[in-house]
Amino acid sequence: MKYSITRRKKGTLIFAILGIVLMLASIITIYWWETTGRVQFLYSEVLVLNQSVEANTTITEDMLDLVKIDSDNFIEGAVVDKEKVIGKITAHYITKYSQLNLAYFIGEKVEAAKEDQYIFTIPPDWYLTFPNSLRRGDIIYFYPVKNLKLNENISSNTSESKKIFMEEDMIKGEIAYLKDSGNREVVDTEGEKRYDGSANIASIEIITNWEDFSYLQGLVGENYKFIILYKK
């Protein structure tokens, strides 16, 4: 009789211990699932902004984060690759932590210069004038003039400026960036109409090759300056 009671107590103790172990295992499993497991197995990465941005803002890498959320909560067309939006311009105000869609942006991002091309800033003393309607991606042309005063007619036949350059003599380059005096990019404030820029252009950066850059530099050395033109 005593043996039977002792055996029954041992069995009860074992089941109690097993119950406690299973309870602890369940608690640990639930905790792991809620804190780590769900993210690992059910969530996917999506691109979000780590700050709110205004319209006509150029997106840089430091503005972006990749976060994991339930794939069912992805917006339609959600972007997951940073490279697809870096360098693009926002079409409207976007709040912090928003998922991104390519429809939120306008214009094309600046492509990297090819192997034989470079991006350089045109020194202000190299040019006489340029259209303030220039925008990123425009192809511009440098027309050289010598000792031209701002109040003289471009077609002046004085001995100081009588050398005439033909259209084929002009050097062209692609606008990489336009910056204002605060080093912010100058963009349109009314879509792509060019009616009103976000600021006055203070700095022009272009993409060109070394040969054309050297040619421009040589003309500057001969006291030429440039009128910058572009075709719409």
Please check whether residue 213 is in contact with residue 118, taking contact to mean a CB–CB distance below 8 angstroms.
Answer: yes
The CATH number of the domain holding residue 50 is: 3.90.1210.10
| Boundary-marking domain end, from 80, 106, 132 | 106
State the DSSP string of 31-83: HHIIIIIHHHHHEEEEEEESS-B-TTPBP-GGGEEEEEEEGGGPPTTB---GG
Low-confidence ranges of the chain (pLDDT < 70): 1-11, 13, 15, 29, 32-42, 107-115, 147-168, 189-195
Domain that holds residue 67: 43-106
pLDDT in tens, 9-31: 666 767 677 777 778 777 776 77
Residues 97 and 130 grouped into a single domain: no
Residues 123 and 204 grouped into a single domain: yes
User: What percent of the chain has pLDDT above 70?
Assistant: 72
Residues 136 and 214 grouped into a single domain: yes
Is residue 26 assigned to a domain? no
